Amino acid sequence: MAMSGLLEGKLAIVLGIANRWSLAYAIAQAFSREGATLVLTYLGEHQKEAVESLAEGLNVARIVPCDVTSEEELAALTESLFSLGRPLDAVVHSLAFANREDLGKPFVETGRHGFLVAQEVSAYSLVAVARAAAPAMTVGGSIMTLTYLGSNRVVPNYNVMGVAKAALEASVRYLASDLGPGKIRVNAISAGPVKTASARAIKDFSTVLETVAERAPLRRNTDPAEVGDAAVFLASDLSRGVTGNVLFVDSGMQVMGL
């Protein structure tokens, strides 16, 4: 659904594209459709070729490496953004990770290492990316991340990731306060469950999809393109007064009780 070039002239970086089924890719497609110029990142040489292939057909200015657990690569990211010679307008943080074994057992059995890994990659990385990107956002702009309802409700088998997403959402609010004076907005999109590669790591994920389709007000699951369109709104000037918020794109599932 084209929206008349809402992002024309804007520069955006999208972190977290893994394959063409990922929400980050749906967002990149929507941004490119609306006229944005993109910077994409990849994790390690093994992922570089896949991201380069996905970039075909998109309005991509540069593809750069970025391991968000590496201070050196985050510093290099800042330099790369500056070298483009234009302000950065939008940041899409679509990164999360937890050890598979920590998603398949009761939360109380989560080990210290697994807990910290999930927090570092899924929550702290937003703080690190915001710190790396903000200096290039010289005229303000929008930073957004992806979250899920399991941040504030118990979703079976989501476990340590749900706790990490809770920390991520709290980080959104504190970053919104810190970066607001620089006209940088920080928000999260809480997408409904989608068949992505990472979702397959969640035990009985198909049951979650079936439950949402039966109980959500719209009686269906989330379309990745809907998440992309919501991200366009948050990156555009239409959302100039919106910050520190969680925008639900989940067919209304968040309003349901039992």
Per-residue pLDDT of 165-184, as tens digits, reads 999 999 999 999 999 999 99
Q: Quick one: pLDDT at residue 202?
A: 64
Q: Quick one: pLDDT at residue 233?
A: 98
Average pLDDT on 35-47 reads 94
Per-residue pLDDT of 208-222, as tens digits, reads 889 999 999 999 999
Query: Is the pLDDT confidence value at 201 over 70?
Result: no
Which string of b and e fits 15-40 if b means at least 16 CB within 10 Å? bbbbeeebbbbbbbbbbbbbebbbbb
Write down the H helix ranges in 39-198. Answer: 45-55, 71-83, 100-103, 112-119, 125-133, 159-179
Residue type for position 129? V
Q: Quick one: pLDDT at residue 1?
A: 65
Per-residue pLDDT of 90-115, as tens digits, reads 999 999 999 999 988 999 999 999 99
Q: Which of 13-17, 163-167, 200-204, 241-245 has the lowest mean pLDDT?
A: 200-204
Find residue 248's DSSP bridge partners: 190
Average pLDDT on 188-199 reads 82
Query: Is the pLDDT confidence value at 66 over 70?
Result: yes
Q: Domain residues of the chain, as ranges?
A: 11-250
CATH code of the domain made up of 11-250 = 3.40.50.720
| 62 membership: H or E segment, kind and range | strand 60-65
Q: Supply the residues annotated as catalytic.
A: 148, 158
Q: pLDDT tier at 203 (50, 70, 90 boundaries)?
A: low
Please give the mean pLDDT across all residues of the chain.
94
